[in-house]
Each structure stands twice: as C-alpha cells, then as structure tokens.
Amino acid sequence: MATESISTLVIDDNPPPLNITIPKKKDLPRRSTPWRDVELPVDFLLITVKDCEFLSCYHFLKNSFKSCSTTLGFVYFGKMGGDQSLKLRVALMKCSEGSSVPGGSLVVVKNAVTILRPKAVFCVGACLGLQRGKAKLGDVVVSSKLTQYAGKNVTDGEVQPMGGARVPVSRDVSRLIRHAGDGWEAPLLNPSGREVEVHCDAEYLSGPEFVRAKWRCDELVAMHPEAMAIDMEGEGVYVAAYDMKMEWLVVKGMAGYADGTECDLDKWAHFASVMAASVVNNILLDSVIFQSWPYFRGEPADEQMPLTEPCAEFSRSTAMAITVKEGTPSNEELETLSQKIAEGWKPLGRRLEMDESKLTAFDKENEEYSEKPYKMLLFWKQREGSAATYQVLHDALCHPLVNRRDLAEEICGYK
C-alpha cells in the first residue's frame, strides 16, 4: 500500500482555547493622543505584521493609548513588565510583510528607532517551521541566530546560492533568552491539555520568500540543517538594528510548516502570536535587569522631518573624546567586541595590520559568525604581545573605514 507523501500531510487539529481574550480591531482606541504628550524615549519597540500579531501584543500593554507621527504613522504605547514603579515603556507598531519592501521592517525600524530611541527592538508574531521534528504548532521560537539565505550567484548556465550573513544575537540578549521560558505559563484554558514549548536556542532563516513548498523547504534545510524556523521580517529588523548599533530579537510562534503541510494557518497564526506575545511579556516581567541597558544614543529627531540616514547622522553628532584605558584588552572584552562588530570585522582587521590571507583563513575556518573576529583579535593580541593595547584597538575602531566609536568607547574607555 502506498504511503502518504509528507508534503500532503494534513494537520486537522485546532488550537486549544485560551484563558485570555484578545481584543479585536473594533476594540482599539479611536482617538489619538497628541504626539507632544508622548513620553520619550521608550524602553522597547515591538514590531508586528499581521493583525493577529499586533492585537496579541496590544493585549499585554497596560494603560495603552495611540498617537500619530507624520514620519511613523500610528504608534501604540503602553507599559509592560514588573510592578508599577518599574514598568517598561513600550511602543507597538505594524510594518508591511517583508524586509526591504516599502513600509517593510528595515525602513520602519530605522525610522522608529531614531524617533522613539528604545533600548531594543523585538520582532513578534508568527512564523513557519522548517523541520516538524524540532518544534510543533504553537511552540515559541526565540532567535539565538539569524541567517539571511536568499542571495544567489547567477552566471551563464549556473545558479549557486551565496552565503548570507549568519549572525548571533548579542551577548547580553543571549544571556537573557536562555531564561525566556523560566516561570512562563502558556495562557491556556486547560494547561494540561497541550504542552507549549519555548525554544530558546533557535536559528532563524529570513529572506524575501514565503515558502510553502516541500522542494524549497528541503533545499533550505539541506543548506541550513540547524535552522528551525523561517520568516520574512527578521532580516530587516537585524539589518536596521545592526546599522543603528542596538539590541534586537525575534520571538515568534509556530503557525505552520514551510514544507506545505496543510493546516488552518489563520487559526494557528492567532494562537502562535498570542504565545509569542506572552513570552515577550514574560521576558519583560523581570524589568529591573533592563534598567542599565542604554537607550539608542541619538539626539531627539524632529518627528515632522523625513529621515534618510539617521544612524550615520547621529553617530557623528554624538562622537566625543574618551579616556582610553591602559594595558591590553582581556579575552572576554575581545569576545564581547566580536559579538558586536558583525560585518565590520574585516575592516577592523586591516586597521590592525592583518594580512588578507589571514582574514580569509579566519573567515573560512570558523562557521560561527562571531568566532571569525574573535579568532582574529586573539591572533592580533598574541602577535603583538604588550603592544596590543587598548589605545591601538580604540584607534582602529574609530578609523573612518570602521566607524565604530561606540564600541571603542564601550571596550576601551573608562566607564
């Protein structure tokens, strides 16, 4: 007897009932608070796409209201977190599906960060799973790494995939998300009826494709066997946050599978979005740990003015002389720098007089993205000995071709 093809599998069960009531669009406030009355900066920016994602996050906002900016459009504000004195100010926004489309996550995040100046941006909602054995419908997937996958090298008669960026979240966020599920209870009417898991060490794929075909799903899994989920907005959030030098995270619930497995995507997207928003609320409950996180370091923008390249403008305006520490950076400091330098590690290596052959070797020999600059910096420290000083590293980071004065101040300056 022929067996059923995995691509035609049907999941006909429904999500279990919730113990909370998610608002509908008709329940949202009709009138706006004047923008001049909005208290800025906010602590966190939540980015969503679909209505169910937005409404799920909105449910957890306390004392919520909306306002309208000429640049940003409607923004919903509220508080999340611990007791009243430590609640975090949160801004909630929607963007278009995809990263680089008009109104997509890349543009929305860059403009919103410049004006709202949050400590971090979270992309919250629903995603598709890549491997059914790794997570089930409704589970929450928290990014520890994000991989851009869609680039291709097209030549005559040949199309080859290009290696996109594979980046981990920062050290601080990584430590935070290890405990994202601690103390969390899924908001279910019958908690014993279904176990909803929080996967805290997940690799996301993100690109311009909405994948619902087994052949494409299998192709992506073959190239990225550790990836658990796929979405279309994460890369825009990452690229914007990287450009703005700030923290980012993707938290999404599993609403379906990219291999074309049939299920009620609308119902599961609603359920998955609630689970993801609930996990974000759980992360922010321990609000005291975020008190020391810095806000986006830019001057308040005129919200009526259109934005072009805010990150570069503000980084120039905030450049200040610092007192550089004496001695040699520790290995832990170099590891911290490696997790934050991202794609600027090769220009930094050249400023540290690293041969191109060495840079190529570090690139090829290390799969983890943050290991490439870390091994390069360890080699520099060993090669130079006592001459591998904070001052040399500071000057290299401040070079115009590296332009990471923020990291020079963080790693090499006195706090």
pLDDT in tens, 44-62: 999 999 999 999 999 999 9
Q: Residue 152: which pLDDT band, with cuts at 50, 70 and 90? A: low
CA neighbours closer than 13 Å in the CB half-sphere of residue 399: 18
- 301 in any annotated domain: no
Helices (H), 136-264: 171-177, 214-223, 234-244
pLDDT of 189: 95
Which residue from 212, 405, 382 is spatially nearest to 318, judged by alpha carbons?
405
Let me know whether 39 and 185 are in one domain.
Answer: yes
Give Cα separations from 299 to 72, 117, 248, 354 (angstroms): 17, 9, 20, 36
pLDDT of 400: 77
For 180-207, write each residue's pLDDT tens digit: 999 999 999 998 889 999 999 889 999 9
- 138 in any annotated domain: yes
- 121 in any annotated domain: yes
Q: What is the C-alpha separation between 337 and 347, in angstroms, rounded? A: 14
Domain that holds residue 167: 6-290
Above 70 in pLDDT, residue 316? Answer: no
pLDDT of 156: 67
For residue 62, what is the domain's CATH number? 3.40.50.1580
- 392 in any annotated domain: yes
Let me know whether 131 and 42 are in one domain.
Answer: yes
Let me know whether 263 and 327 are in one domain.
Answer: no
Main-chain dihedrals φ then ψ at residue 274, nearest 5 degrees? -65, -45
pLDDT of 345: 86
Average pLDDT over residues 318-347: 80
Let me know whether 326 and 243 are in one domain.
Answer: no
- One-letter amino acid for residue 342 of the chain: A
Average pLDDT over residues 284-288: 90
CA trace torsion 212, 213, 217, 219 (10° rounding) = -150
- 201 in any annotated domain: yes
Average pLDDT over residues 269-293: 94
Q: Is 75 helix (H, G, I), strand (E, B) or coil?
A: strand
Above 80 in pLDDT, residue 5? Answer: no
- 186 in any annotated domain: yes
Q: Hey, how many other C-beta atoms are within 10 angstroms of the C-beta on 302?
A: 11
Q: Are 59 and 23 in contact, with CB atoms under 8 Å apart? A: yes
Average pLDDT over residues 317-325: 57
pTM of the predicted model as reported, rounded to 2 decimal places = 0.70
What residues contact residue 88 under an 8 Å CB cut-off, 6+ apart?
Answer: 43, 44, 79, 80, 81, 284, 287, 290
Average pLDDT over residues 159-185: 83
pLDDT of 148: 87
Q: Report CA 171 to chain centroid distance, whole Å.
A: 13
Let me know whether 145 and 58 are in one domain.
Answer: yes
Above 80 in pLDDT, residue 321? Answer: no
Average pLDDT over residues 280-307: 72
Q: Give the pairing of strands 198-206 and 227-231.
A: parallel
Above 60 in pLDDT, residue 23? Answer: yes
Flag the least confident range among 47-51, 118-122, 349-353: 349-353
DSSP conformational letter for 324:
B
Let me know whether 273 and 342 are in one domain.
Answer: no
Let me know whether 259 and 326 are in one domain.
Answer: no
Let me know whether 284 and 323 are in one domain.
Answer: no
Above 60 in pLDDT, residue 351? Answer: yes
**Which of 290, 310, 337 represents a domain boundary (last residue)?**
290
Reading the block at residue 286, the tokens are 């321990």
Q: What is the C-alpha separation between 101 and 164, in angstroms, rounded? A: 19
Let me know whether 125 and 210 are in one domain.
Answer: yes
Let me know whether 175 and 227 are in one domain.
Answer: yes
For residue 394, what is the domain's CATH number? 1.10.533.10
Let me know whether 209 and 325 are in one domain.
Answer: no
pLDDT of 370: 75
DSSP secondary structure of 352-401: TT--HHHHHHHHHH--STTHHHHHHHHHHHHHHGGG--HHHHHHHHHSTT
Looking at every residue in the chain, the average pLDDT score rounds to: 86
Average pLDDT over residues 77-93: 86
Helices (H), 75-170: 105-116
pLDDT of 322: 64
Average pLDDT over residues 384-397: 90
Q: Are 91 and 116 in contact, with CB atoms under 8 Å apart? A: yes
41 cis-preceded (ω within 30 degrees of 0): yes
Element (H, E) at 128: strand 120-129
Helices (H) and strands (E) in the chain, counts: 13, 12
Average pLDDT over residues 242-266: 92
Let me know whether 164 and 258 are in one domain.
Answer: yes
- 189 in any annotated domain: yes
- Number of domains making up the chain: 2
Q: What is the C-alpha separation between 19 and 36, in angstroms, rounded? A: 37
- 314 in any annotated domain: no
pLDDT of 6: 42
Above 90 in pLDDT, residue 284? Answer: yes
Which residue from 115, 95, 15 is spatially nearest to 53, judged by alpha carbons?
95
